[in-house]
Amino acid sequence: MQIKKDIRTYSTSRSMACVLMIFGVQDAMADANEVTPVQVIDAIEATFGVTPGERRNHTKGTCAVGEFVGTKDITRFSRSALFSGKQIPVIARFSLAGGNPKAPDTAKSGRGMALEFKLPDGTLHHMTMLNTPMFGAAQPRTFLDFMVAIKPDPATGKPDSERIKDFKASHPDSKAQADFMSHNNPPTSYANSAYFGIHTFKFINQKDQTTLVRWHFVPQDGEKQLDEAALMSAPANFLESALIKRTAQSAAKWDMIITLGEPDDAQDDPTMTWPSTRKQIKAGTLSITEAMPQKGASCEKINFDPLVISDGVAATQDPILLFRSPAYAISSSKRLSGQ
């Protein structure tokens, strides 16, 4: 699909522009959270090491391309061109959480789906999602402390169990995601996993009316998890080849579902899920038509900044959401410079 070079160029230049603003953002965040994006990136590097030219987190990944067709009925909530009903080109990246490029695909860690939509007017919209309904930190401090807690002990090469135990006891906001992953095995394929936006966003319509929303993508192939036997026997690298094989047969599709929030729902805490009684509406269909190794492919250099959003969608004051943008920019700047 002829959408690779122009999107790559835009995303790269935008990443560098973000870097120019980092130090001012860091100062503000340091006051609020006593944590800076540089500290977090340094902690990730200390825990996982550095693979030059690669992402610091979600290092292991697979590129893909496809399209999205939004449901025009959603225009009553958002004026975003995402929901024009037209085919919108998409560059996607599927990944494993963590900074280990050789992490086994059976690891009980998060799986990511990042999307870059190229809208009809040439602007971009990003979505960066996980296969857990919630995040593991309500504040950047929790994420930083988690990276420190799981840093391998030089003597054993493994994280210290007592340090992890202390982390869990002192950071209750990490519990919900940890519990979810302990009770849900990794997916059999990227195409058999749901992905959640995690954060609350605002949809704004033509009348400037605002609706709180969360979104998730549900696979039309159905959700399937590895059983216990497969966890023990599956090869270390099956997710990429499975997605390539699946998309060679036909497009892998997901339904985008938005959940409509109410005023008392959590807006700024991604560790809290909303009540299951909230109304849900189909907002569109994502079709992934081709997947490929990420080296040299269209997704490789994209900085999937979650604050690249179109008119008609706005961020909340979620501290994790706001923190991700400058942290991503630092990581992007390093890898694009070959570090």
pLDDT at 308: 98
pLDDT at 27: 43
Give the position of tokens 């169990």. 161
pLDDT at 97: 98
pLDDT at 18: 44
Q: How do residues 326-339 score in pLDDT, each as one tens digit?
A: 999 999 999 999 99
Distance (Å, whole) CA 242 – CA 83:
30
Closest CA to 320 of 216, 200, 215: 200
pLDDT at 7 over 90: no
Closest CA to 283 of 128, 88, 93: 88
Q: How do residues 113-150 score in pLDDT, each as one tens digit?
A: 999 999 999 999 999 999 999 999 999 999 999 999 99
Token duo for residue 146: 């988690």
Helix axes 319-336, 4-33, angle to 10 degrees: 130
Which pLDDT band holds residue 32 (cuts at 50, 70, 90)? very low
Count of domains for the chain = 1
Q: How do residues 284-308 score in pLDDT, each as one tens digit?
A: 999 999 999 999 999 999 999 999 9
pLDDT at 21 over 80: no
Segment 91-112 shows an average pLDDT of 97
Strand segments, DSSP code E, in 60-172 are 61-70, 87-96, 111-118, 124-130
Cα–Cα–Cα angle for 282, 284, 288, nearest 5°? 130
**Rounded to whole angstroms, what are the CA distances from 254 to 79, 243, 270?**
22, 14, 22
pLDDT at 23: 41
pLDDT at 29 over 80: no
Q: How do residues 189-198 score in pLDDT, each as one tens digit?
A: 999 999 999 9
pLDDT at 34: 84
Helix axes 4-33, 140-149, angle to 10 degrees: 100
Which pLDDT band holds residue 234 (cuts at 50, 70, 90)? very high
Q: Mean pLDDT for the chain?
A: 92
pLDDT at 141: 97
pLDDT at 100: 96
**Rounded to whole angstroms, what are the CA distances from 169 to 142, 145, 146, 149, 182?**
12, 12, 12, 12, 17
Q: The domain containing residue 305 runs over which residues?
A: 4-336
pLDDT at 299: 98
pLDDT at 5: 37
pLDDT at 232 over 70: yes
The percent of residues above 70 in pLDDT, for the chain, comes to 90
Active site residues: 58
Q: How do residues 183-216 score in pLDDT, each as one tens digit?
A: 999 999 999 999 999 999 999 999 999 999 999 9
pLDDT at 242 over 90: yes
Q: Are 295 and 55 in contact (CB under 8 A)?
A: no
- Assign residue 122 the CATH number of its domain: 2.40.180.10
Burial 266-278 (b: 16+ CB within 10 A, else e): bbebbbbbbeeeb
